[in-house]
Amino acid sequence: MNKLAFKKCLLIVTGSIAAYKTPDIVRRMRDQGAEVRVVLTSAATEFVTPLALQAVSGNEVRQDLFDHQAEAGMGHIELARWADAIVIAPASADYIAKLSKGSADDLSTAICRASEAPMLIAPAMNQQMWENSFTKEALDVLSEKGFCVCGPDSGSQACGEVGLGRLVEAEILIESIASLFNSGSLAKLRVMVTAGPTREYIDPVRYLTNQSSGKMGYALARAACEAGANVILISGPTNLEPPQGVGVEYISSAKEMASSVSEGIGEIDIFIGCAAVSDYRPEAVSDQKIKKSDSTLSLKLIPNKDILSGVAGLTNAPFTVGFAAETEELERFARDKMTKKGVDMIAANLVDKDGLGFNSDDNEVTVFWENESYVLEKQPKEQLARKLVTLISRVYQKNP
Ligand code: C5P
């Protein structure tokens, strides 16, 4: 089971002897599906080499805030934005004290200051240093600021003493990193997500479809599941791995999607219509492959039912979220669509932006609800999905 699938983790290694364990930790994080980048403090380089961490992470290791080449592109801000989670392991007594005072005078502390990502600290130090009240006070400050603390473990230490202060085992650290994403914001709720394209068959071998990859819908299903929801994904044909913990129903046509949705919708609290549903289907589907001839061929198309507005129009409708791809006047057309379809929230994007939206890994959307709006800037769909799910849960809690 890939506990860190699609997660971008920044590992900050500080000056503790336990730093020698970090190449193994990085390897295991990658085994769990994480993309890992590493920042070393200068004290950490006494215990582990940048080259070892570069080899196991597959990424350049950064150490210096004043690295002219990297900082030409505002490297520390870029890293702060890139990270889905920041893990400080091992965190030395000195580093914990420094961070608790709000220092931002080296690369790693500047990144922590600039990032909104959840942060996990895994302390590792001599047992007397761990027991010292300075350490406890500093960790209290950091906990209050939202840092999560993992460990330390008890046992024999590099200094020959026995007690609390060992870096936690890699498996425990990985469990704790994974739990950073489990916000519980949708706990006990049932969420249905539609994703991908639909296929409207003309004959047994030909169909009408669109460019949707399903990536956004799958990322939303995964993010809702991580937020504690019981998720059902109704998916058109895609090449994607089903998200772990999510129940998936595969369909092909818009009609099949509509009937899967209507079968399960009675149980649902939040419906997210992310699929690119075909607006039309051929009126007649030929039983046999249509033969080529020299004359023209006309297809008569009839409209498909709008699944989203059907759900929004139900008595006891769930909270409904739709998507809108527009080429101009984003707010006006998105709000029009929201009203026309009767949905609670709409995530809209401009489709003429280079490489954004259909079939790409990144997306940028503006979310509209009631009289409010929120911009989720260009970012990987996995990251955007987590933010959108947080926003949906906030608005839903106000209007359950
Ligand atoms: O009207 P338009 O296709 O632009 O609306 C897009 C939104 O409506 C998406 O949320 C999409 O999943 C949903 N939709 C639907 N059924 C249709 C067409 C669109 O649920 N037949």
Domain termination residue (choose one: 152, 179, 206) = 179
Question: Residue 92: inside a domain, yes or no?
Answer: yes
For residue 83, what are the CA distances in angstroms to 6, 87, 114? 11, 10, 11
Span 236-243, mean pLDDT?
A: 96
Q: How far apart are CA 193 and CA 321, in angstroms?
A: 9
Note whether 169 and 201 are same-domain residues: no
pLDDT on residue 361: 86
Whole-number Å distance, alpha carbon 245 to ligand 1 midpoint, is 26
- By CB atoms closer than 10 A (0-12, 13-18, 19+), residue 64 is middle
Note whether 289 and 316 are same-domain residues: yes
Note whether 87 and 125 are same-domain residues: yes
Residues involved in catalysis: 159
Q: Does 195 sit in the ligand 1 pocket, CB within 6 Å?
A: no
Whole-number Å distance, alpha carbon 8 to ligand 1 midpoint, is 31
> Residue 191: helix, strand or coil by DSSP?
strand
> Residue 251: helix, strand or coil by DSSP?
coil
Residue that has been written with the tokens 């592109």 in this structure: 73
Note whether 168 and 210 are same-domain residues: no
Note whether 250 and 142 are same-domain residues: no
Q: Are 349 and 364 in contact (CB under 8 A)?
A: yes
Q: How far apart are CA 126 and CA 124, in angstroms?
A: 7
Nearest CA to ligand 1 atom 17: 306
Note whether 370 and 239 are same-domain residues: yes
Q: Which amino acid is at 94?
A: D
Question: Residue 230: inside a domain, yes or no?
Answer: yes
DSSP β-ladder status, 230-235 and 190-195: parallel
pLDDT at 197 over 60: yes
User: 350: domain CATH number?
Assistant: 3.40.50.10300
Note whether 118 and 215 are same-domain residues: no
Number of domains in the chain: 2
Question: Residue 184: inside a domain, yes or no?
Answer: no
Q: How far apart are the first and last CA of the chain?
A: 33
Note whether 32 and 87 are same-domain residues: yes
Domain termination residue (choose one: 179, 208, 241) = 179
pLDDT on residue 241: 93
Question: Residue 185: inside a domain, yes or no?
Answer: no
pLDDT on residue 73: 60
Q: Which amino acid is at 42?
A: S
pLDDT on residue 358: 66
Q: Does 346 sit in the ligand 1 pocket, CB within 6 Å?
A: no
Q: Does 308 sit in the ligand 1 pocket, CB within 6 Å?
A: yes
Span 382-390, mean pLDDT?
A: 95
Whole-number Å distance, alpha carbon 195 to ligand 1 midpoint, is 11
Tell me: the pLDDT tens digits for 311-354?
A: 999 999 999 999 999 989 999 999 999 999 999 999 999 886 56
Report residue 157's pLDDT band, with 50, 70 and 90 as the boundaries. confident
Span 45-53, mean pLDDT?
A: 97
Report residue 158's pLDDT band, with 50, 70 and 90 as the boundaries. confident
Whole-number Å distance, alpha carbon 306 to ligand 1 midpoint, is 6
Domain encompassing residue 258:
190-398
Q: How far apart are CA 365 and CA 338, in angstroms?
A: 15
Atom of ligand 1 minimally distant from the CA of 323: 10
Q: What does the block give as tokens for 196? A: 């991908």
Q: How far apart are CA 44 and CA 263, in angstroms?
A: 57
Q: Does 254 sit in the ligand 1 pocket, CB within 6 Å?
A: yes
Whole-number Å distance, alpha carbon 65 to ligand 1 midpoint, is 47
pLDDT on residue 240: 96
Atom of ligand 1 minimally distant from the CA of 309: 20
User: How many CA atoms lie less than 13 Å away from 173 in the CB half-sphere?
Assistant: 30
Note whether 172 and 312 are same-domain residues: no
Q: Does 306 sit in the ligand 1 pocket, CB within 6 Å?
A: yes
Question: How many percent of the chain have pLDDT more than 70?
Answer: 96
Tell me: the pLDDT tens digits for 89-148?
A: 999 999 999 999 999 999 999 999 999 999 999 999 999 999 999 999 999 999 999 999
User: 18: domain CATH number?
Assistant: 3.40.50.1950
Q: How far apart are CA 279 and CA 87, in angstroms?
A: 46
Q: How far apart are CA 350 and CA 16, in angstroms?
A: 49
pLDDT on residue 76: 81
Exposure class string for 353-387: b at 16+ Cβ within 10 A, else e? eeebbbebebbebbbbbeeeebebeebbbbbbbbb
Q: Does 323 sit in the ligand 1 pocket, CB within 6 Å?
A: yes
Note whether 168 and 207 are same-domain residues: no
Domain termination residue (choose one: 179, 212, 234) = 179
pLDDT on residue 353: 57
